[in-house]
């Protein structure tokens, strides 16, 4: 019965996964994606290991930021809250993952739900800000169109003003209210107060970037250390585009464009892009399974 309830509750997430699987099969059959003839399994295995390590540390980041706001939870509950809700990002709306995470912690600790959800959203905005910062610096060091460099840097400046200054934060919320007719709460962070959280966010994003670099090497798409920036920035673009559940399609299209610009053939770029989705889904499934195992073994469940 528990299995049936799980399917009913998460049917959309399962549908997305099945759709991705069939999409990749179709693309391979129609030769839009060519299965690599030679895969470097050493690089591939190492990329999965580092990916899972990044996922694990991201699961711990919720505990770190909650502690920074005066809410204390265990490592186990941080991993459970992250893992059991990670598939919710594929539900349209982008907020379900934060609501699910907050709901679990509220139930077990009786902390205020709205505050927990907002802190989770703060963590995501912090990650977006860090990725855009490092990628904008990185893109200034390579040969890409000047307008692209300026666009990325301006986006980082605007994002910084919105989330770190009260004046621009209020203006943005007012503009959103006037444009959409809805009052949407946008995180307003204190740079000084969140200095303790930045390291853990930087670490898991770097691990994701390096794991993707190894994945691209394993598929013979060696473009040097450029790919360290490609995965984080394409993921952030997928997050920002709110109509795409889990960034589905947006991240892949961005990766294809970046790899093609770097001299990789369209076929190989599409192959790496599609495989990266399956690869990262494996990381999310790792988080989900770990969360389920920890939840099943938790003291409250054993009573």
Kindly report which listed range (73-77, 182-186, 237-241) carries the lowest average pLDDT score: 182-186
What confidence tens digit (pLDDT) does each residue in 89-133 have?
A: 766 656 778 888 888 899 889 999 888 888 888 888 888 888 888
Percent of the chain with pLDDT over 70: 75
Per the CB < 8 A criterion, the answer to whether 97 and 287 are in contact is: no
pLDDT for res 7: 45
Q: pLDDT at position 2, please? A: 43
Q: Residues 199-226: pLDDT tens digits?
A: 999 999 999 999 999 999 998 887 777 7
pLDDT of residue 25: 60
**DSSP element (H, E) containing 28:** helix 11-29
Q: How many domains does the chain have?
A: 1
User: Measuring CA to CA, which residue among 101, 103, 91, 107 is closest to residue 65?
Assistant: 101
Region of 247 (left: φ > 0; alpha: ψ -120 to 50; beta: rest) is left
Name the packing angle between helices 2-9 and 11-29 (round to 10°). 70
Residue 302 has pLDDT above 50, yes or no: no
Q: What angle, 0 to 180 degrees and rounded to 10, lies between the N-to-C axes of helices 266-296 and 250-261?
A: 140
Higher local confidence (pLDDT), 246 or 216: 216
Return d(Cα 106, Cα 231) in angstroms, integer: 33
Given a cut of 80, whether residue 83 has pLDDT beyond it is yes
pLDDT in tens, 151-205: 878 888 888 887 778 777 777 777 766 666 666 666 666 777 778 889 999 999 9
pLDDT at position 52 over 60: yes
Is the entire prediction scored with pTM above 0.85? no
Rounded Cα distance between 290 and 83, Å, is 7
Cα 48 to chain centroid distance, Å, stands at 16
Q: Quick one: how far is CA 125 from the chain centroid? A: 11
Residue 93: domain span: 2-302
């Amino acid at each position: 019965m528990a299995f049936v309830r799980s399917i009913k509750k998460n049917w959309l997430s399962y549908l997305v996964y099945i759709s991705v699987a069939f999409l990749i099969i179709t693309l391979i059959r129609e030769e839009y994606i060519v299965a690599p003839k030679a895969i470097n399994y050493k690089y591939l295995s190492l990329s999965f290991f580092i990916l899972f390590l990044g996922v694990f540390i991201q699961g711990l980041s919720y505990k770190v930021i909650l502690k920074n706001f005066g809410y204390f939870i265990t490592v186990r509950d941080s991993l459970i809250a992250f893992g059991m809700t990670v598939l919710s990002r594929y539900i349209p709306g982008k907020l379900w993952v934060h609501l699910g995470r907050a709901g679990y912690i509220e139930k077990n600790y009786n902390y205020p739900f709205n505050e927990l959800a907002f802190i989770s959203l703060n963590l995501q905005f912090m990650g977006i800000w860090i990725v855009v910062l490092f990628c904008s610096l990185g893109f200034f060091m390579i040969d890409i169109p000047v307008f692209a460099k300026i666009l990325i840097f301006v986006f980082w400046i605007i994002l910084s003003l919105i989330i770190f200054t009260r004046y621009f934060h209020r203006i943005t919320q007012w503009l959103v209210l006037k444009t959409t007719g809805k009052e949407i709460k946008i995180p307003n962070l204190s740079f000084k107060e969140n200095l303790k959280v930045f390291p853990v966010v930087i670490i898991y994003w770097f691990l994701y970037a390096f794991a993707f670099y190894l994945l691209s090497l394993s598929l013979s798409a060696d473009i040097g250390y450029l790919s360290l920036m490609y995965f984080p920035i394409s993921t952030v673009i997928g997050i920002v585009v709110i109509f795409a559940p889990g960034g589905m399609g947006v991240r892949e299209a961005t990766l294809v464009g970046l790899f093609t610009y770097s001299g990789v053939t369209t076929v190989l770029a599409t192959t790496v892009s599609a495989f990266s989705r399956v690869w990262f889904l494996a990381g999310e499934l790792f988080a989900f399974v770990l969360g389920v195992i920890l939840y099943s073994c938790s003291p409250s469940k054993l009573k």
